[in-house]
Amino acid sequence: MNAKKTKKIVVLATGGTIAGLAIDATKPQNYTAGQVRVADLLQGVAHDGIELLTEQVAQIDSKDMSFAVWQRLLARVEHWLEQEDVQGVVITHGTDTLEETAYFLQTVLHPAKPVAMTCAMLPANAPGSDGPGNLKDALAWVQVPGSQGVTVVCAGQVHAGNAVQKSHSHQRNPFTSQANVMHPAHLRVPSAAQVLGCVHGPRVELVQNHAGADGRLVRALMAQDAPHGWVVAGTGNGTLHHDLEAALLDAQKLGTQVLRASRCAQGGVQSREADMLSHAGSLTAVQARVALLLHLVAQ
Ligand code: SIN
pLDDT tens digits, the chain, 299 residues: what are they?
A: 445 567 899 999 999 999 999 999 999 999 999 999 999 999 988 888 899 999 999 999 999 999 999 999 999 999 999 999 999 999 999 999 999 999 999 999 999 999 999 999 999 999 999 999 999 999 999 999 999 999 999 999 999 999 999 999 999 999 999 999 999 999 999 999 999 999 999 999 999 999 999 999 999 999 999 999 999 999 999 999 999 999 999 999 999 999 999 999 999 999 999 899 999 999 999 999 999 999 999 99
Question: What pTM, to 2 d.p., does this model score?
Answer: 0.97
Which residues are the active-site residues? 17
Exposure string of 186-195, with b = 16+ CB inside 10 Å and e = fewer, is: ebeebeeeeb
CA distance 244 to 218: 8
Query: What is the CATH number that goes with domain 192-298?
Result: 3.40.50.40
Q: How far is the CA of 71 from the centre of ligand 1 (A)?
A: 20
**Residue 151 and residue 141 in contact, taking contact as beta carbons nearer than 8 Å:** yes
Ligand 1 atom 8: residue of nearest CA: 95
Confirm or reject: Cβ of 61 under 6 Å from ligand 1: yes
pLDDT at position 47, please?
80
Q: Whose CA is closest to atom 1 on ligand 1? A: 94
Residue 44 has a pLDDT of 83
Q: Which atom of ligand 1 is nearest to the CA of 16?
A: 3
Question: What pLDDT, on the 0 to 100 scale, is given for residue 129?
Answer: 96
Rounded distance from Cα 61 to ligand 1 centre (Å): 6
Name the residue of 32, 119, 121 to mutate for ligand 1: max ligand atoms within 8 A of Cβ.
119
What ranges do the domains of the chain cover? 3-177, 192-298
C-alpha 44 to ligand 1 mean position (Å): 22
If you take atom 2 of ligand 1, which residue's CA is the nearest one? 94
* Nearest by Cα to 66 from 118, 124, 123, 15: 15
What is the Å distance from ligand 1's center to 210 Cα?
A: 27
CATH class of 3-177: alpha beta
Ligand 1: distance of its center to the CA of 36 in Å?
13
The candidate with the shortest Cα–Cα distance to 176, out of 192, 154, 194, is 154
CA of 56 to the centre of ligand 1 (A): 16
* Nearest CA, atom 7, ligand 1: 94
Instruction: Say if 3-177 and 192-298 have the same CATH topology.
Output: yes
- Ligand 1 contact via 17 beta carbon (within 6 Å): yes
Give the pLDDT confidence score for residue 1 in this predicted structure.
Answer: 45
Burial zone of 76 (CB within 10 Å; 0-12 exposed, 13-18 middle, 19+ buried): middle
16 pocket-lining for ligand 1 (C-beta < 6 Å): yes
pLDDT for 2 equals: 47
Ligand 1 within 6 A of CB of 95 = yes
pLDDT recorded at residue 48 = 82
Query: Which strand ranges, in their side-by-side order, compose the sheet holding 51-60?
Result: 51-60, 8-15, 86-92, 114-118, 149-154, 157-160
Whether 131 is in the pocket of ligand 1, judged by its Cβ within 6 Å, is no
- Burial (0-12, 13-18, 19+ Cβ within 10 Å), 250: middle
Kindly list the strands in the beta sheet with 257-262, ordered across the sheet, starting from the edge strand earlier in the chain: 204-208, 229-234, 257-262, 279-284
Is the CB of 94 inside a 6 Å radius of any atom of ligand 1? yes
